[in-house]
Structure 1
Amino acid sequence: MQRNALKVLEYAKIKEQLLGHASSSLGRDEIKNLLPSADFENVVRLQEETDEAAMLLRLKGNVPLSGIFDIRAHIKRADIGGVLSPSELVQISSTIHASRQIKRFIEDLAEEDIKVPILSEKTERIIPLAKLEEAIKNAIDESGEVLDSASELLRSLRNQIRANQARVRERLEGMIRSSSAQKMLSDAIITIRNDRFVIPVKQEYRGHYGGIIHDQSSSGQTLFIEPQAIVQLNNALQDIRVKEQLEIERILADLSAQTAEFEGELRIIVEVMGSLDFIFAKARYSRQIKGSKPLMNNEGRISLYKARHPLIPIKEVVANDILLGRDFTIIVITGPNTGGKTVTLKTVGLCTLMAQSGLQIPALDGSELAVFDSVYADIGDEQSIEQSLSTFSSHMVNIVDILKKADFNSLILFDELGAGTDPQEGAALAISILDEVYKRGARVIATTHYPELKAYGYDREGVMNASVEFDVETLSPTYKLLLGVPGRSNAFEISKRLGLDEGVINAARSHVSADTNQIDKMIASLEESRRQAERDREEANDFLKQAERLHNDMQKQMADYYVHKDNLFDKAASQAVDIVEQAKEEAEKVIRDLRKMRLEKHADIKEHELIDAKKRLAGAAPDIKRSGRKTALKDQKRIFKPGDEVKVLTFDQKGTLLEKTSDNAWNVQIGILKMKVTEKDLEYLSTPKQTEKRAVTTIKGKDFHVSLELDLRGERYENALMRVEKYLDDALLAGYPRVSIIHGKGTGALRQGVQEYLKNHRSVKKIRFGDAGEGGTGVTIVEFK
């Protein structure tokens, strides 16, 4: 990559932003050394690893990467026999712990069916050094202090130290509490000088206590004396402290030797952890800029959709679609200054450098970038005072260097090509330079003020004119890139808006050639047509969204209507049966009373008459069929034909046959809905006469009727199963081969219940958990027979 391109495109600022997302100095070192790669396979792998990390951040929110240190110097010292300090050993232990955490984290993803092959390959290299980590943690705490538990001898020595210190303090406290001490001591306290216990004695009483003077106050009035009575106790304490220090050094030497044994494994841990920290820093940076993974090619194609300059705040930057390398290899952007032409150049160049560095780009999903061998940029005023070069000369020095090296696999960015000299000669040079790079097959974006280059885009195949939109009403650029529309001068319109006399403007217009006026009018017409087309498209999209919402609402209402109707029917049937049962019971009671009367009073009532009456009462009960799926009586003589009016027994609705499907079913139009129905669920009604004109309305696509997903999250268990049953019927009617049921992870009860139900469903062929991109174990994919 040309160093000047990295500089003028401000690649270093991208790295500065990236540094803020690293968790350790290891990751920061990798970022500082980051440069774009020209190896296509390497770039693809870099993008894949960043995408894996970005996916994990989306699914998990964060990853365990804290506690990583650059321990390479520690490892080297241990390997050559040096003794490591407690803090160095703590850093080694912390890094081992971090490596074990991330290794376990990546391995656990397999249980959730989340596939991250590149990250898994890296963590597989980590050898968990749990024993070394445990040995260090048992000997040294997080603050770097060697623990009593590091060895039995150290524990014993420290117990002795504490006991001796207690005896020394006890003796000294007896001295400072005596009645004479109040006048001889500056303060009744015990302090420490040179690791020995002392008391503050006034200068004039220095000989009273004897012993050793260790220090004095700044005024010289107070002496810090170790009384003779405790010198032996302090000496004994110092002897134990020396033994303690020797034991600590022995413990540290032993831990350093253990560290040296795993020198190779520790270096691998450092390498892998640094790489993982760098990868997840890229992923976190992508989340910050709302980036996406670009599709990479080695054929020079650039397709950026809603691309943003990564160094401009998201709330301020204007997103643009930029296409290059398919139908045309050169874009010539014309128009006035401060319109955003240079920002467009830098957006393409910087996105290319980012993509070739393994970074995701600030553009929509589906954007595509090429891997170039070289990126060249001539942007801005590169005037060199030391070389006494003019603006034009400094540009030409850069351009000459570019033309020496550029080839078919180069991206070249020219800003204000040919500027800084006579307009006629500058335009001719610009055209000649563009011809040269076009012959070489390079991908080029150039900006210019020269109107001659507008015609260049029309005259040559493979060249596209473009401009940056300017709003004359607000006298400000909109920063929107317009491909296919050359820039035009807005001087007259701006002058008029600012209040310049109309006569002066008309006089100015007369000095402009008729051809120029005609071109400006044509460009203005193109801009207005484009704006109108965009307005029409937005309006059409709004209507489409409204229609989809209305359709979905109507479909839901129809489903609710059928459910409500069935419920009402069932309720009415149940009530009717109850009423009849009550009537039969009452009739039975009456008959019993009549028999009783006949037996008691010898009434003239015949038995067979009573039996006949009972039969008539039983026959009065209505034979009510419950709502549900009905099956038509097969009429062997009747052959259905398109256009026949039929009754769909499943919904108890009339419909019209449209066409027969390959699986011996029919597409039936029911109102505004079209659905697939088997012949056994159809009942023939009539065939319309040929003279009758019937309009059949069809709805395009089954996907408009039933959603491809059912979201059960938050549902109660019983309600969820009822919704699943209804949804499967709807999906089968819509003819879907596969659907998704979102039940979430939670406790797993809902997931298990749903899957048990699906396993026993007559129409379900296969079920499986979703892939990582489909929701993992929180989603069940259902395939129908």
Structure 2
Amino acid sequence: MNHKIIETLEFNRIKTGLAHYLVSAAGRQELAALMPATDFDTVHQMLEETTDGADILRLEGGIPLPKLADVKPQMKRLRIGANLNGTELAQVTKVLQASMSVQNFFDQMREKKIKLRVLEGVVDRLVTIPSVTRRLVRSVDPDGRITDEASPKLHGIRQLITKTEDEIRTQMDHYTAGKSAKYLSEPIVTVRNDRFVIPVLARYRNKFGGVVHDQSASGQTLYIEPGAVMEDNNRLRQAQIEEKQEVLRVLAELSALITPYRHDILNNERLLGHLDFVNAKAALAHQMKASLPLLSRDNVVNLRKARHPLIARDKVVANTIKIGKDYQAIIITGPNTGGKTITLKTLGIIQLMGQSGLFIPTEEGSTIAVFDNIFADIGDEQSLEQNLSTFSGHMDNVKAILDRITNRSLVLLDELGAGTDPKEGAALAMSILDAIGAKGSMVVITTHYPELKVYGYDRAKTINASMEFDQETLEPTYRLLLGIPGRSNGLEIAQRLGISSTIIDEARSLVSDDSQDLNKMIGDLVEQRRAAREENERLTKLVAKNQAKEKELTEKLDRFNEQRDKLFDQARSKANHQVSMAKRKANQIIHHLRQLEVQQGANVKENQLIDAQGALNALHQENPQLKNNTVLKRAKAKHDLHKGDSALVKSYGQYGELLNRRGSHKWEVQIGILKMEIDERDLEKVAKKNLPKDKTTRPRKPAVRTTQTRRTSARLDLRGHRYEEAMGELSNFIDHALLNNLSSVTIIHGKGTGALRKGTQQYLQSNPRVKSFSYASPNNGGDGATIVNL
């Protein structure tokens, strides 16, 4: 990929946005070397990594990485046998720690069954050295200080230093706080030449003896080490020298310890930098609200509602850009300030982003190509130094482009042929387009020349395009119109800006009728296109609304069918019960008739008795349609719910009034002073005449009372139940115990595996109506039962 396109399309500004999210030196180095790839498999691999990064960011908040310094200089020093200082060792330690934490992070993701595409392979190449890492962490603080635990000798020396310093300060306190304090310029203890001293007024120097180590600028104060502490200061100084020597020995030991692993450390640094770079790509995609592009091996580009990534989202206009399938050349015509150049740059920079493994600022499902190169001639190429006019500068660029393009290249040309005679410029532009087309490259150009509109109409695999203008306000909308050439609005804009109508009329008379007709035709096309787009947007919203309605109706139908089947089963069961009772009564009658026949000789034939019994048995049917079954009709009527109806809330055994429908299958129900949201399957319509007397009207200030809904025992035995069934039983039991004003209940869950006991206690902890709970006494079940206070 040529470097000029990176500068022309301002791709480095995208890289600057990426740099904001990087935390490692290796990641910044990888970003600095980032260039769009031109190999399909490479681009695919890079996008797979970014997709993994986006998934990790969404699910886990990103890969946990600390700030990592560049450790390459340290590894070079180790290679030549040099020792690292504390700060350098701390930086190496951070790389080794990060390697272990990243591996642990990805192991946890595997345990969570989070599937990744390629990043696991990157992490598997990290080399962890636990023993060396632990030694470094124990010996070096993050700020580079060698810790007391680095060696037993160092620990002992530092204890001696601390003890000696305390002794010296104790002695010095006699000078600063005792009778000698009056001879001091300040009652403090300070340090000069690594020895503890006190500031003595010059005229009292003989009061203390010892050694003068320094004096103030005025000469009035001398910093004296009293003779009484000289021996202790000597001992302290000796310990400090030994400390430095031991620190140097520890640094040498630690440097030797990591020297054999320097290649692994460098490799880890590179891999962590790459993961940091993937993190940054995912973060940038999230910030831009960008999407994963699809890749086309046939170099087909379809950018759906593409936005320029460097323009604020609240200002940019999204456009759909297509090239490579039905046409290979797009000619964008129309007046200035309409957005032609931005459209060129949007196509170019999105391709650069995609080929760099970045998500692109388009709608999902957009497709990009993998070009071997992208060329652009955009902007004023005038050069005073090289004595080039604008036209010459553009032609110099075009020549260089024509020499390098292939059938896998993309060419972006702004104002092709501008800067010279319009006739010659238009002819030259058409010839250049023919030359680009002959090589099979894709090309998008902008131009003012009307001749190129005809060229775009006549040439194969070439399409006209323009930027939409509002015909009423003559302001650009910045929308790309594929298939419609640009209309010149120069005279209309001039008239709107206040140019005399006489001048405008004369100008119109000088414009050929063909040009005026063409502009009128283009204006009509633009208006039709705008109307078609608005209609399409309206129909799209209508389709979405209808699809949502269809989904809602389908769900209601499914629930209706479910309820209908349930009612059929209930009706069938009740009908079968009635038939069974009839059969039993008939059998009794038949038995009685037989007895009459035997005892009294009644004229009843056996075959008649058998036929009667068979007819009764035929009443019992397994799958009747029950079209006119009154039981089913009554059951359906109970579920025909409307606002204002009275209904029984079956799970609570309470009567209420339906206030409003909530969603598809729920109702807001007034039960006494309470308003509750109840599923319609838990409601049963009740005629007001069948309500209890105190339920026919709702009092203005109803009293709060508890109604017993079922006979509730104070004991629930969950033994032998499945876990889910037991938890449901427990929830219902507690609800009914509360409604029955029980203050204490017993839950028998047994011991077993402990699952029911644990589930019971978790539920009781989560229920705000449970005051307390504890295991039963040993003679009442011990930890196999729980006493609950409500």
Please state which band the TM-score falls in when normalised by the shorter chain.
Answer: 0.7 to 0.9
In the alignment, residue 480 of structure 1 is paired with which amino acid? R
- Measure how far apart 1:337 and its partner are: 1.0
Structure 1 residues 38 and 753 mapped into 2: Cα distance closer, same or farther (>3 Å)?
farther
Tell me what 2:399 maps to.
400
Please give the residue correspondences for 1:488-503 in structure 2 after superposition, counting only pairs within 5 Å.
488-503=487-502
* CA–CA separation in structure 2 for the residues paired with 1:328 and 1:218: 86
In the alignment, residue 149 of structure 1 is paired with which amino acid? E
| 1:379 and 1:415 in contact (8 A); partners too | yes
Tell me what 2:713 maps to.
none
In the alignment, residue 623 of structure 2 is paired with which amino acid? A
* CA–CA separation in structure 2 for the residues paired with 1:259 and 1:86: 13
* CA–CA separation in structure 2 for the residues paired with 1:631 and 1:528: 68
SS of the equivalent of 2:135 reads helix
Matched, 1:518 2:517: yes
Please give the residue correspondences for 1:153-232 in structure 2 after superposition, counting only pairs within 5 Å.
153-179=153-179, 181-232=180-231
Tell me what 1:615 maps to.
none
Please give the residue correspondences for 1:249-398 in structure 2 after superposition, counting only pairs within 5 Å.
249-398=248-397
Matched, 1:531 2:530: yes
* CA–CA separation in structure 2 for the residues paired with 1:296 and 1:417: 30
SS of the equivalent of 1:205 reads helix
| 2:567 and 2:632 in contact (8 A); partners too | no
* CA–CA separation in structure 1 for the residues paired with 2:508 and 2:162: 100
Tell me what 1:660 maps to.
none
Structure 1 residues 218 and 306 mapped into 2: Cα distance closer, same or farther (>3 Å)?
same
Tell me what 1:468 maps to.
467
Which range is displaced more, 211-220 or 191-200?
211-220
Tell me what 1:69 maps to.
69
Q: Cα deviations across residues 562-619 of structure 1 (Å, max 9, x unaligned)? A: 67788999999999999xxxxxxxxxxxxxxxxxxxxxxxxxxxxxxxxxxxxxxxxx
Q: Cα deviations across residues 254-296 of structure 1 (Å, max 9, x unaligned)? A: 1111110211221221121111111221111111111112122
Please give the residue correspondences for 1:584-663 in structure 2 after superposition, counting only pairs within 5 Å.
632=623
* CA–CA separation in structure 2 for the residues paired with 1:438 and 1:567: 70
* CA–CA separation in structure 2 for the residues paired with 1:353 and 1:16: 15
| 1:67 and 1:95 in contact (8 A); partners too | no
Please give the residue correspondences for 1:719-734 in structure 2 after superposition, counting only pairs within 5 Å.
none
Q: Cα deviations across residues 21-62 of structure 1 (Å, max 9, x unaligned)? A: 112111011101111111221111111111111122122222
Tell me what 1:132 maps to.
132
In the alignment, residue 158 of structure 1 is paired with which amino acid? R
- Measure how far apart 1:460 and its partner are: 0.5
- Measure how far apart 1:513 and its partner are: 1.1
Structure showing greater relative contact order (alpha-carbon pairs closer than 8 Å, 6 or more residues apart): 1
| 2:568 and 2:632 in contact (8 A); partners too | no
* CA–CA separation in structure 2 for the residues paired with 1:224 and 1:508: 97
SS of the equivalent of 1:42 reads helix
Q: Cα deviations across residues 729-751 of structure 1 (Å, max 9, x unaligned)? A: xxxxxxxxxxxxxxxxxxxxxxx
| 1:295 and 1:367 in contact (8 A); partners too | yes
Tell me what 2:55 maps to.
55
Please give the residue correspondences for 1:543-554 in structure 2 after superposition, counting only pairs within 5 Å.
543-554=542-553
| 1:472 and 1:490 in contact (8 A); partners too | no
| 1:472 and 1:494 in contact (8 A); partners too | no
Structure 1 residues 404 and 571 mapped into 2: Cα distance closer, same or farther (>3 Å)?
closer
* CA–CA separation in structure 1 for the residues paired with 2:540 and 2:556: 24
User: Could you list the runs of 5+ residues in structure 1 that have no partner in the other structure?
Assistant: 579-622, 635-645, 654-704, 707-718, 724-751, 758-785
* CA–CA separation in structure 1 for the residues paired with 2:520 and 2:387: 43
* CA–CA separation in structure 1 for the residues paired with 2:537 and 2:498: 35
In the alignment, residue 397 of structure 1 is paired with which amino acid? D
* CA–CA separation in structure 1 for the residues paired with 2:137 and 2:519: 78
| 1:148 and 1:154 in contact (8 A); partners too | yes
Matched, 1:413 2:404: no
| 1:67 and 1:98 in contact (8 A); partners too | no
In the alignment, residue 414 of structure 1 is paired with which amino acid? L
TM-score by length of 2: 0.72
* CA–CA separation in structure 1 for the residues paired with 2:232 and 2:492: 99
Q: Cα deviations across residues 679-713 of structure 1 (Å, max 9, x unaligned)? A: xxxxxxxxxxxxxxxxxxxxxxxxxx99xxxxxxx
| 2:571 and 2:632 in contact (8 A); partners too | no
| 1:472 and 1:493 in contact (8 A); partners too | no
* CA–CA separation in structure 1 for the residues paired with 2:476 and 2:335: 9
Tell me what 2:674 maps to.
none
Matched, 1:100 2:100: yes
- Measure how far apart 1:543 and its partner are: 2.3
- Measure how far apart 1:549 and its partner are: 3.3
Tell me what 2:37 maps to.
37
Q: Cα deviations across residues 747-776 of structure 1 (Å, max 9, x unaligned)? A: xxxxx969x99xxxxxxxxxxxxxxxxxxx
SS of the equivalent of 2:256 reads helix
| 2:140 and 2:150 in contact (8 A); partners too | yes
Q: Cα deviations across residues 435-469 of structure 1 (Å, max 9, x unaligned)? A: 11011111000000111111110111111100011
TM-score by length of 1: 0.72
Q: Cα deviations across residues 291-324 of structure 1 (Å, max 9, x unaligned)? A: 1121223322111111111111111111111011
| 1:304 and 1:321 in contact (8 A); partners too | yes
In the alignment, residue 139 of structure 1 is paired with which amino acid? S
Which range is displaced more, 333-342 or 533-542?
533-542
SS of the equivalent of 2:118 reads helix
In the alignment, residue 204 of structure 1 is paired with which amino acid? R
How many residues were matched structurally?
Answer: 603
- Measure how far apart 1:112 and its partner are: 2.8
- Measure how far apart 1:373 and its partner are: 1.4
Structure 1 residues 486 and 647 mapped into 2: Cα distance closer, same or farther (>3 Å)?
farther
SS of the equivalent of 2:23 reads coil
Tell me what 2:3 maps to.
3
Structure 1 residues 302 and 197 mapped into 2: Cα distance closer, same or farther (>3 Å)?
same
Q: Cα deviations across residues 5-33 of structure 1 (Å, max 9, x unaligned)? A: 22111111111111111121110111011
| 1:293 and 1:361 in contact (8 A); partners too | yes
In the alignment, residue 170 of structure 1 is paired with which amino acid? T
Which range is displaced more, 209-218 or 434-443?
209-218
Q: Cα deviations across residues 138-163 of structure 1 (Å, max 9, x unaligned)? A: 11222322221221111111111111
* CA–CA separation in structure 2 for the residues paired with 1:542 and 1:371: 35
* CA–CA separation in structure 2 for the residues paired with 1:525 and 1:546: 31
| 1:214 and 1:226 in contact (8 A); partners too | yes
Structure 1 residues 519 and 74 mapped into 2: Cα distance closer, same or farther (>3 Å)?
same
SS of the equivalent of 2:379 reads coil
Structure 1 residues 45 and 574 mapped into 2: Cα distance closer, same or farther (>3 Å)?
closer
Tell me what 2:428 maps to.
429
- Measure how far apart 1:171 and its partner are: 1.6
Q: Cα deviations across residues 44-81 of structure 1 (Å, max 9, x unaligned)? A: 11111111111221222222112433212212222322
* CA–CA separation in structure 2 for the residues paired with 1:89 and 1:544: 64
Which range is displaced more, 48-57 or 480-489?
48-57
* CA–CA separation in structure 2 for the residues paired with 1:532 and 1:517: 23
Q: Percent identity?
A: 43
Tell me what 2:696 maps to.
none
- Measure how far apart 1:544 and its partner are: 2.1
- Measure how far apart 1:556 and its partner are: 4.4
Please give the residue correspondences for 1:568-579 in structure 2 after superposition, counting only pairs within 5 Å.
none
Structure 1 residues 370 and 554 mapped into 2: Cα distance closer, same or farther (>3 Å)?
closer
Structure 1 residues 529 and 241 mapped into 2: Cα distance closer, same or farther (>3 Å)?
same
Tell me what 1:693 maps to.
none
| 2:48 and 2:117 in contact (8 A); partners too | no
* CA–CA separation in structure 1 for the residues paired with 2:269 and 2:562: 64
| 1:90 and 1:144 in contact (8 A); partners too | yes
Which range is displaced more, 440-449 or 243-252?
243-252
* CA–CA separation in structure 1 for the residues paired with 2:189 and 2:461: 91
